[in-house]
Chain A
Amino acid sequence: MTTAFALLRKQIKDSLCNFQALMVMLIYPLVAFVMITALGSEDGMSGMFVTMFATMHASFAPLVTASNILSEEKEKGTLRALIMTGVSRQQYLISESLFVVSVTLLTGSAFLAMDVFTRDRAAAVAAAMLCGAVLSTLAGLCVGILSRNVSAANGMAVPIGLVTALLPMLARFNESLDRAARYLYSGQISRVLDSGKLSGEFAAVMAVYTVLLAALLAILFRKKGLE
């Protein structure tokens, strides 16, 4: 428990000194805030923007953050130092995942405050954001395990993040993209944010992605460890 607490405190302090990491976590809420402030009362438009940026936030930010943290610790050898003090690899992964998910939700809560999501939609929105944060974090850890250093991790995480984050937005303008986005977890998140209602389809897609990503993470971890 003290180890988890120590890792969490380290990560908070480190992230606060890391401008790039802060930007990744804050950029979408900030842009959304600027947009709705600029658009004012044109309701339909501001709702769409907030949904779009909230989807991007939940799918892009945790993916890039998780992969960056893990790959930087590998590159700098700090993870090796932790392991050599007896921190288990599983303990490390769990602590870092909790950190990334919590920060995503914390910064993502700004979207709830933007007055676009009515109170009765809040629970569904929060659930969708939580699912997005967890799945993207799992994907980020997979990328981190596969990458030797930060630039390799970014080279993989940014394209994946852009596809998951942008496809739901593009799907609004193209029907075949919309059909494809249905099978993407971020596509489902976008739908829930739009409608404010959780659906069976959403639950099914989330379950499938959870199983797939957790299995992928387990396989990669078994094969490559955290070296």
Chain B
Amino acid sequence: MAIVKLDKVTRSFGAKQVLGGVSLQIEKGEIFGLLGPSGAGKTTLVNILTGQLSCGGTAEIFGMNCGRIGREVYRRTGAVLDNCGLYERLTCMDNMKLFACIHHISAARIAEVLREVGLNGSERLRVRSLSKGMRQRLQLARAILHAPELLFLDEPTSGLDPATAEEIHALMRRLRENGTTLFLTTHNMDEAYRLCDRIALLHEGQIVEEGQPAAICRRHCSDSELHIVTSDGEDLSLPSLPQNAEVVAALMREGKLRAIHSAEPDLGTVFLRLTGKELTQ
């Protein structure tokens, strides 16, 4: 069942068209990644889906038009967005208590969620004294407090150290196992590849490719390469074609083969091929 449905969604700011007819469906229980370079329109799309921006075309979540979502939909969704802040002067616990009270959620659940994101022990710290990673965890804790069915994450790990990012990835996987649907945006192709069940590549407001990350790579990499390092220290790049098998075999016979890798294009390379642009810049 599709939880999010976008059909030819458009959005302009003044004369500038940011989204030019985006169509997508997100199924229940998957981690869906929207991948694109800075300025592609990822945040704009999330803002449309969370009812913060109007759009052309149809955008629906839980079968409800995004332009008219209200309390019922907000109770079923959570979001970690740049423009959703925390109360800086209050403690972690007071921030959580406010939202728990609005959602009619018990104190026990707050403790459980804080433990889940690894913030137990930091309840009494004021938000302004938290590091970036801790803030991000607290935002995540707030977003999952009411056990939403659908979670929006706009670049949840950008600017975080790899260890913290990995913990957040693990949490996202646990959420998926519990049946939560996740929609994340990122320009980190590695993150998208390892984490997402399906991704869409967004470029200048258009979806240029969509599907399972591995399948996308395979689709665009019939022409993979072999990277070879010889014992003389020489680097060779060979297209992995049958006629090159003899070259490899000869190196092996002569004992000159030090290392061999197959270089399948990653999502970044696919993106570059499709658009002529780098994914991260």
Contact = CB atoms under 8 A, between A and B. Distances in A.
The binding surface of chain A is classed by DSSP as: helix
Interface string B81-104: 111111111100010011101111
- The interface centre, meaning the residue of A13, A17, A80, A81 with most chain B CB atoms within 10 A of its CB, is A81
Given A2-B104, A82-B102, A86-B74, A17 B85 contact: no
- The interface centre, meaning the residue of A3, A10, A76 with most chain B CB atoms within 10 A of its CB, is A10
B157 interface: no
A5 interface: yes
B89 A84 contact: no
Interface of B: 50, 52, 70-71, 74-75, 77, 79, 81-90, 94, 97-99, 101-104, 126, 142, 146
B87 A78 contact: yes
Interface string A43-86: 00000000000000000000000000000000011101111111
Contact of B86 (A18, A78, A84, A85): A78
Contact of A81 (B88, B90, B142): B142
Nearest to B146: A85
Contacts of B79: 84
B90 A14 contact: yes
Nearest to A16: B89
Nearest to B98: A10
B94 A13 contact: yes
B84 A77 contact: yes
A75 to B, nearest CB: 8
A77 B85 contact: yes
A6 B94 CA distance: 10
B83 A85 contact: no
A85 B69 CA distance: 12
Nearest to B79: A84
- The interface centre, meaning the residue of B74, B79, B86, B89 with most chain A CB atoms within 10 A of its CB, is B89
Contact of A86 (B70, B83, B84, B90): B70
Contact of A80 (B52, B101, B102, B146): B52
B71 A81 contact: no
B125 to A, nearest CB: 13
Given A82-B102, A86-B70, A10 B87 contact: yes
